[in-house]
Amino acid sequence: MKFSYQKTILITLLLLVSSIKGFLDYDEEHLLNCKDFHTNEALQTTLIIHQIDKWVFLILAPFAILSTLFIMLTFYKYPTTRKQPGDIILAISISDFILCFHWIISSAYSLYYEIGPDPDGAFCQSNSFFSVAAGTTEFTYNCCFCLYVIFVIRNNLKGQVIPQKIFHLACGGITILIVILVFATKNSGLSLFGTCSFKVNDGFPVFGVVILFAYLFISWYTIWYFRKSIPNNQIFKKMREEFLRYYFYYVVSTSVIWTILAFSNLFAGLNCSYFQDPSMNVIITIGNAAKIGTPIILSIIRYKDPTIKKKVRDQLCRWGFIRKNRPSLTNPLNPHNSNQSQHISLSEQQRRQSSEDGSSWFTKLTQNLRMTQIYAMISGIIINDIIQKKKENPQSNGSINGPTIINISNPLVALNDDDYTSDQEIELNDELISQYIPFHKHEQGSPSVEGKVTVHAPKVFRALQQSDGLMADIQASFDLINNIESIQKKFGGPDGGKSGEFFYFTQDRKMIIKTMNKGELDAFLKNLKKYVIHLVLNQDSLIVKIYGIYTFQINKTQNHVLIMRNISQCPSEYIERTFDLKGSTYDREVISQKKNKGKKLSEMTMKDIDFKNTEGKIWIEKKYAKRCSESLEKDARLFESCGLIDYSLIVFKINWIKYSIDTQVEIEDVLKKFHSDLNIIESTKEVGIYYHIGIIDYLQEWNVQKNLEQNTKKILNLNGNLDTSAQNQKIYADRFINEIAKGIFDV
């Protein structure tokens, strides 16, 4: 027997029409005047479910229960479908399931006793509890689904997601709050529809229209945002169309059904308070029919949900409701088709992979989006570097092998005031990228790119690159051919790197690209000139240089990113210790944490207390220790004058001797890679170990938010003198100088 949801919808519509046209008991006896006071006995005899409504509930509710139960069983049988956002669909289905039983029980009670239940009785109040809780949950999760889609798309580059537990706690918290509010204000009881739910109330019909428009706004905004943010190109076309087709039908259906519910509730309330026309109670039947139609119609649509569609189809095939599509016998033998299979779009590959490994379909879409953004960002960085090199030397092609002319020993000296405020915009598209990056032209499946990059103060950051000599080669470090595999490995998964931020070490380990927020961007650009002057006057500065700041507008999503020098400059397996030091003692220990039990020290980023317990100090020659200490003090005073806090001294202990043996690179050649002798300092305590130190994370201003963070921690710990990490710039700099600059170096 072939499953046909069209027949189910037709039967439902016929029942709705028949319920409106005949056998309706709309008379004065069932007309309530909301302006009068009524006893519970009067409400029981007036607010009863109309005869036709009872049979609509009793006949259609089992179908609704079966349709929602099928979805719930699918989620139960296939745990991978319960990943976000499948868990949201499951929660909505459970709510519908509960509501169906609520309607059956209400109808059966009314049919048996021929009156409504006592509004204050245990039956009605418990029934109200399930109705209010399930209805609120359904509405909340429908809205949360929209917010989830918007949030994930907006933050897909960083791989940010709302943890499932927090997500469900928030949605559940809203439901619990509303249920408590309803019962605390004694708004539970008999409704105008004859069921126990939100009781008759002058304000509730209007409130229903308000929440309807709230849902209409957020749901249609989600469709608009999705259309705007997901490009309609070869990679995304099929996935985009599939989501929009499903979600469009879903939103249209919920919009129509909930509009009927809201306005039937509104007109029933107006009739109760003003019109007093018994025939207008037909609107109550229409509303009840819409209620029972909701789980049936939406369940049928949910069978098309990309999250569970394949599992639903497999289950229906297993039960014999539909036939499995037979594979074409000609495809495997057709060489033309075989060639075509090599050119399957990335979108189709992801969709197939999603079906095979059970991954969330929506997760695969955001993975594609993330990879496209990363590809476009790196392309923009390379193109800008080529353009800047061409400006310096018009005779060169700006490529890696093209000569770079530097007229003065320190290019930072030649900058003028305009250089600090001028930005450059580059329109990114496939044609431009192919012109500058041959990889894009020839690599099969290269993402289609459309967007814009704003390069902030390009001359200034180009000069900062040049001041570090051979350590800073943008094109070599960000070469797409060398980086594409590691990018796919790190960011091609569903977590996007897990950190909640986009953070990537180039394949040669020389540079880092990371996201920054608008506040950090503005704070740094505001102090850029002061920053450069400090670097010119203090050649030994241990501030890790930033080589570029960019604002990318890709797929209608804006991201601010920076690139900076990687202090270690070597593969992670040769890093024996990593320390992040701020000079604070509060919450600055990681070795003793339960989550790190059993881990090697080389696998952790340790903090101040760990450093004191394991190292004590930096073991280097006194001449280097003195220079480092003096430089750190000057650097801290710069940040103080800029109002910056939260910076850290990062300390790496690297076994370059082991690296030299493994790679057969002489240690002298390793040392030559570094621009300054303070970039790599030999340990006096351990043979073959070298220290790499530098100040990082110096973009945070002292502001109201940080002040609030500081005081909150003090209150929570009941300690007004708590040495929190966040302090005002003066206290932070003083502490950094005393505890770090003068505390860990033997001077």
Could you tell me the domains of the chain? 5-319 (1.20.1070.10), 359-566 (3.30.800.10), 571-747 (3.30.810.10)
Q: How far apart are CA 443 and CA 516, in angstroms?
A: 30
pLDDT at position 403: 41
pLDDT at position 725: 64
In the predicted structure, residue 370 carries a pLDDT above the cut 60: yes
Backbone angles phi, psi at 606, to 5 degrees: -85, 165
Instruction: Quote the mean pLDDT of the chain.
Output: 82
Q: How far apart are CA 65 and CA 67, in angstroms?
A: 6
pLDDT at position 314: 77
| pLDDT tens column, 143-167 | 999 998 888 888 887 777 778 888 8
- 125 — pLDDT class (breaks 50, 70, 90): very high
Q: How far apart are CA 617 and CA 634, in angstroms?
A: 20
What secondary structure does DSSP assign to 320-348, as a single string? TSSPPPPPPSSGGG-HHHHHHHTT--HHH
Average pLDDT of the residues in 201-222: 85
Return the top range by mean pLDDT from 9-23, 425-439, 639-653, 713-727: 639-653
- 706 — pLDDT class (breaks 50, 70, 90): low
**Angle made by CA atoms 244, 249, 255, in degrees to the nearest 5:** 120
**Angle made by CA atoms 614, 584, 690, in degrees to the nearest 5:** 40
- 611 — pLDDT class (breaks 50, 70, 90): very high
pLDDT at position 14: 59
pLDDT at position 140: 94
pLDDT at position 316: 72
In the predicted structure, residue 510 carries a pLDDT above the cut 60: yes
In the predicted structure, residue 407 carries a pLDDT above the cut 60: no
Comparing 113-117, 221-225, 482-486, 498-502, the range with the smallest average pLDDT is 498-502
pLDDT at position 327: 47
In the predicted structure, residue 210 carries a pLDDT above the cut 70: yes
Average pLDDT of the residues in 337-354: 43
Beta pairing class for 503-505 and 450-456: unpaired
pLDDT at position 5: 60
pLDDT at position 396: 60
Q: How far apart are CA 420 and CA 412, in angstroms?
A: 11
Helix (H) or strand (E) segment spanning residue 369:
helix 361-392
Comparing 48-57, 254-263, 353-362, 720-729, the range with the smallest average pLDDT is 353-362
In the predicted structure, residue 691 carries a pLDDT above the cut 80: yes
In the predicted structure, residue 69 carries a pLDDT above the cut 70: yes
Taking the whole predicted model, whether its pTM rises above 0.85 is answered as no
DSSP 504: E
In the predicted structure, residue 222 carries a pLDDT above the cut 60: yes
Residue with the larger pLDDT of the pair 232 and 271: 271
pLDDT at position 391: 85
Residue with the larger pLDDT of the pair 498 and 223: 223
Could you identify the residue written with the tokens 């020389």? 510
In the predicted structure, residue 229 carries a pLDDT above the cut 90: no
Average pLDDT of the residues in 195-209: 79
At 162 the three-state DSSP class reads coil
In the predicted structure, residue 100 carries a pLDDT above the cut 90: yes
Amino acid at 704: V
DSSP 550: E
pLDDT at position 732: 92
- 214 — pLDDT class (breaks 50, 70, 90): very high
Q: Residue 574: how many CA atoms within 13 Å on its side-chain side?
A: 20
Q: How far apart are CA 152 and CA 160, in angstroms?
A: 7
Contact 652, 693 (CB under 8 A): yes
pLDDT at position 629: 95
Average pLDDT of the residues in 269-294: 88
Residue with the larger pLDDT of the pair 501 and 186: 186
- 17 — pLDDT class (breaks 50, 70, 90): low
Return the top range by mean pLDDT from 157-161, 430-434, 617-621: 617-621
Q: Is the previous residue joined to 85 through a cis bond, with omega within 30 degrees of 0?
A: yes
In the predicted structure, residue 356 carries a pLDDT above the cut 70: no
Please, which residues have CB within 8 angstroms of residue 416's CB and are 6 or more apart in sequence? Answer: none
pLDDT at position 406: 41
Average pLDDT of the residues in 377-405: 74
Tokens of 269: 């309330």
Average pLDDT of the residues in 203-225: 87
Residue with the larger pLDDT of the pair 446 and 227: 227
Residue with the larger pLDDT of the pair 529 and 503: 529
Average pLDDT of the residues in 555-570: 89
Tokens of 327: 């594979």
In the predicted structure, residue 1 carries a pLDDT above the cut 50: no
First to last CA, the chain: 87
Comparing 59-73, 95-109, 180-194, 389-403, the range with the smallest average pLDDT is 389-403
Amino acid at 171: C
Q: How far apart are CA 423 and CA 257, in angstroms?
A: 51
In the predicted structure, residue 2 carries a pLDDT above the cut 80: no
**Angle made by CA atoms 19, 21, 25, in degrees to the nearest 5:** 70
Residue with the larger pLDDT of the pair 195 and 715: 195
